[in-house]
Structures are given as structure tokens and as C-alpha cells.
Structure 1
Amino acid sequence: MSFQPQALYDLSGRVAVVTGGGTGIGLIIAQGLAASGAKVYITGRRLDVLQKVADSWNEQNAGAPIIPIKMDVTDKDSIKEGRKFIEEKEEKIHILVNNAGQVGPTSPFLGNPSAPELKDGETLGHALFNNETFGQWSDLYMINTFSLFFVTTAFLGLLDKGSKDTEGYTSVVINITSISGVIKVAQEHFAYNSAKAAAAHLTKMLATEFALKKVAVRVNAIAPGVYASQMTFDEIKPEEVDKIGKGVMPVPARRAGTGQEMAGTVVYLASPAGGYVNGQEIIIDGGYVAVNPATV
């Protein structure tokens, strides 16, 4: 048994799939997994974006490759095609990161104390009712919640095969949720926060059901706080953190999270170091949840 970092966090020979892997947090995760030795397939709707970042990585790094695949996580036929492609190439996978997501409808007036929409209960109710639609909520839940179930179940057999590679190793699903799923303020987007809360509970149900059914695949979640991504900004300065976080209290760390912190948490859960973690949601938020109203 070795306690050297190279052994604890080595992903050599592992195969990973990262949805929404062409930009933001998904790309950071894909690069972190590849840097640790995993062969990484990144998926998304825009193949040109995926191809560009994959080519850039592969040209600059001699280690494990990043391979682009066009796959829409809200379309069952597209998911099946993605699974078929990877199965023909690899026969099994070891890591699935469900990262694809969107923000959805927002109600910016919730963050403005002087907004006329906040005049009284009647006014606020009308503003919220008229500002969003069932279609917007449905579309958001499709990608932020429903996709986790369908992508995970589609790839479950390949993950199960991956668990048979090394004694004591189990494949893992890592769902990227959000502190928005545990915080009790709406942060100007009720739909996004409730969808992420649903994703967090879905994570725990999948972990429990797989364990009870003796399927050797772990399921965990990571709930990031304020991180630079396509949904926020390419770079977040310290003075911008609380504007994005929209909490009642400031983020204690007084900065955004880094790519190393995000990728490092994923690598931990996917590596031998995190092999005993199952059914958990790890919050990485610089203390945001510690000082704001939350369900944990």
C-alpha cells in the first residue's frame, strides 16, 4: 500500500465521460481528469467547440487524450448513440461526470430592494407568475435534473464493467450540483435552485438503489459555490464574488473558487483516495453555506 500522491490520485488506464465538457467547469474537470491519467470523452451539443478545446489540449499535453463526442443529454436517442460510440471504442468506463447545465429563467427584481415588484404580496406574486413559464421550468429541469437520471442509467452497464478492472476499485458517477440546491434564498432564480436540489436528492437515491441492488457503482455529487464558468464569467474578481453569489452574507473566503480546487475534488472522488465515498454531496464554496440560510 502506497500513500504517495501518485498512487492515491492516479487515474492511469481509467476512462471518463464528462457531459458539458467543452467550456467552463466541465472543461476544467476534463482537463483535471486527463492530467491525472484518465482518457476523457467530452460531450456537448456543439461539436466544433468540443473539437477546438480537445485539439488544444492534445497538442499541448503528451499524456492522456481528450476526445470530443456530440451528445445531447436531453435526448434519449442522442444519449444512446453516445453510449454506443464509447462502448465500441472502450467496452467500459470508470468515471461519469454529469456536468451539463443551464441557469434558466431569472427574476432580477428579487435582488433589488427598491424594485416596484416588491411593493406588496399581490405585486410580487403577479411579477413572479408573469415573469416565468412552465416551458422555461421544464426545459431547465430537462438538462439540470432529468439528464442525470437518463445519462447515468444509459451508461450504468459500462460503469459496472469498469468496476471489475481492479480489486477494491469501484466506478463512480459524479453529479455537478450547486450550493444553490442547498441554500434557502432564491438567488433570483427559483427554477435553477429547485432543480439543483432535486439533482442532489436524485444523487442519493441512485447511490442507495445501486448499493441495495449490489451494483458496484458509486454515485456522489459536488456542489460548487462561486466559480468562473460559462454561466457566470470567464474570470471573477474578489469584488465581484458576492454580486454573483447573491447571498445574505458575503463569502468568507472573499474570492471565487479555483480550477485546481474544482478539478482536485473530482479527481479525489474518482481516484483510489475517494473510493470509500458513496451517496455524498461535497460542498466546495469558500464557506458560503456556513454563513447563509441553508438546508445543511
Structure 2
Amino acid sequence: MTKNIKSQFDLDGRVAIVTGASKGIGKYIAQGLAESGARVIISSRKQEAVDAVAEEFNAMGLEAIGIECHVGDAKQRESLISAAMKHYGRIDILVNNAAINPFYGPLESADEMVFDKIMDVNVKAPWILSNLVLPHMKANKGGSIINISSVEGIHPGFGLGLYSVTKSALIMLTKNQAKEWGPYGIRSNVVCPGLIKTKFSEGLWKNDKLVEGYMSAVPLHRIAEPEEMAGLVMLLASDAGSYMTGGVYAADGGYLISG
């Protein structure tokens, strides 16, 4: 009998953690996973913010709870994972979406404190959170880690040098996770968004000159909406993507082929 392909996107019974999920890309990723049947943990720095999103999802008939976590804080990272296990008893999907970009300008203008801060949140936190969920995914004999990088981690731009370095490191972290943890049935993939209309990137898409150049260069001639990132994550999280690991997937309107 032929398998039902559509059913492979079903995440019923699975538990997902999404960091940086109180707004923007993270919120829509969390919503997409919840709509596919997952029980979703909304995580971000402020409890009131994650509670508001969880309540919004619950009103839509989706299952979600909010757990406060500043991913740059070691104790809060551990508390996030332990609280998720206490509440749901398992973790199947981890989306490392939380990131910062506190500096815009040439590499030589940044100081060491900025470097350490951006590395702690954008690279160290996904590494440690993944390590923390590893034993639980091993116990389940499988799991999916999805790291949210950026096209800036593949193709350098101007003024985003430190951010690009962290996103490039996240890509290599993903590949090593996939290689080392594949024997446990754990998949790790990385999504590289292009320019998205979120508060995080507001300084870029509100720059008329930059936007004009960007939109004329990319084949789709537009900036993405944050919900357009959710579908790819839903694929990578589900059995529909069961043979996908170590992959680097751009959702960039063609930015990387625009020359």
C-alpha cells in the first residue's frame, strides 16, 4: 500500500522548543509547528511576552506554553530544558532562532565586549542548548535540531561583519551536529533567511536606498514576510524531511544567485 505522504508532515505528539519566539520569524515558526500538531514551548527573554504568544495560540486551538529564557544566560538555558521536560516529558524539536546584532559597521570598529556578546548569543547558546537536549533526543531515538542562520553567513555584506561571522559558525556547528549525532537518529539542519520584514532587521528594510538596491537585485524583487520562513522549518522538523540532515537551506528570494 502506498504511504500517505501528506501525513508525514504531521507533528502530533511531538514537543518543540523555539527560542526567540515572542515575535518575528520565531513566532511564525512556532505557530507553524503548532498548526502541524506539535506542542510548542514559546521561549524568549520576558515571561509576559511569551505568555502573550502562548495565550494567542491557545485561543486558536493550538497547544503552547511560554517559558522565559535569555539564551545567553547559562542558568536560564538549563531551566528552559528542565521546565520543558517537567511539563511535557520529552523534547523532539529544537529551533535555535534567538539571535542579536548589536553592532553595525566595519570589523575594526567593534570592541571585544561586543564580539563576546554576539558570539555568546548567536553561537554559544545554540551549541549549549543543543547539547542539553541531546540526551533527551537520544532517549527518544531521534529528534530534529533546526538552527536559524542567515544568508550573511554565506555571502558577506557590508557593516554586518561580526554578525556574519556568527552565522557562518552556526552553519558549521549544524554540519558537525549532523555528522556526530546522525547515528542516534538526530537530524540537524540550518535555515538561512534573506532580508525579512521584522523588527530585528528594521534598520535595513527601512533604509530606502538599500531596499531599492536589494529589490532590484533579487530575482523575486521583494522583501520576505516573516511567516514565509515557517514552511521550511515545518518540513525539516517532520518525517517529510526524514532524510535531510546537515543541509544548508536558503530562503532568500534568490539573493545568493543575484550576483
TM-score, with length taken from structure 1: 0.81
Amino acid at match of 1:82: L
Contact 2:215 2:221 (8 Å CA) reproduced: no
Q: Determine which structure has more spread, i.e. the larger CA radius of gyration.
A: 1
Contact 2:5 2:240 (8 Å CA) reproduced: no
CA deviation after TM superposition for structure 1 residue 244, in Å: 5.2
Q: Report matched runs for 1:30-109 at 5 Å.
A: 30-59=30-59, 61-62=60-61, 64-107=62-105
Tell me the equivalent position of 2:228. Answer: 261
Contact 1:19 1:44 (8 Å CA) reproduced: yes
CA distance in 2, matches of 1:21, 1:228: 15
Segments of 5+ residues of structure 1 without an aligned counterpart are 111-127, 164-169
Between stretches 134-143 and 82-91, larger displacement belongs to 82-91
Tell me the equivalent position of 2:130. Answer: 152
CA distance in 2, matches of 1:246, 1:24: 23
What is the SS of the residue equivalent to 1:263?
A: helix
Tell me the equivalent position of 2:258. Answer: 291
Tell me the equivalent position of 1:122. Answer: none
Tell me the equivalent position of 2:167. Answer: 196
User: Residues 45 and 245 from structure 1, CA distance in 2 versus in 1: closer, same or farther, beyond 3 angstroms?
Assistant: farther
CA distance in 1, matches of 2:97, 2:193: 11
Contact 1:172 1:219 (8 Å CA) reproduced: yes
Q: Report matched runs for 1:1-296 at 5 Å.
A: 1-5=2-6, 7-59=7-59, 61-62=60-61, 64-107=62-105, 129=108, 131-163=109-141, 170-185=142-157, 187-211=158-182, 214-233=183-202, 243=210, 250-292=217-259
CA distance in 1, matches of 2:147, 2:221: 26
Tell me the equivalent position of 1:113. Answer: none
Contact 2:215 2:222 (8 Å CA) reproduced: no
Segments of 5+ residues of structure 2 without an aligned counterpart are none
Contact 1:144 1:196 (8 Å CA) reproduced: yes
Number of residue pairs matched? Answer: 258
Contact 1:104 1:191 (8 Å CA) reproduced: no
CA deviation after TM superposition for structure 1 residue 245, in Å: 9.5
CA deviation after TM superposition for structure 1 residue 3, in Å: 3.6
CA distance in 2, matches of 1:81, 1:148: 15
Amino acid at match of 1:274: G
Contact 2:236 2:242 (8 Å CA) reproduced: yes
User: Residues 77 and 35 from structure 1, CA distance in 2 versus in 1: closer, same or farther, beyond 3 angstroms?
Assistant: same
CA distance in 2, matches of 1:87, 1:99: 20
Q: Per-residue CA shift, 1:258-286, capped at 9, x if unaligned?
A: 34431110000011110100111111111
User: Residues 245 and 80 from structure 1, CA distance in 2 versus in 1: closer, same or farther, beyond 3 angstroms?
Assistant: farther
TM-score, with length taken from structure 2: 0.92
Amino acid at match of 2:124: F
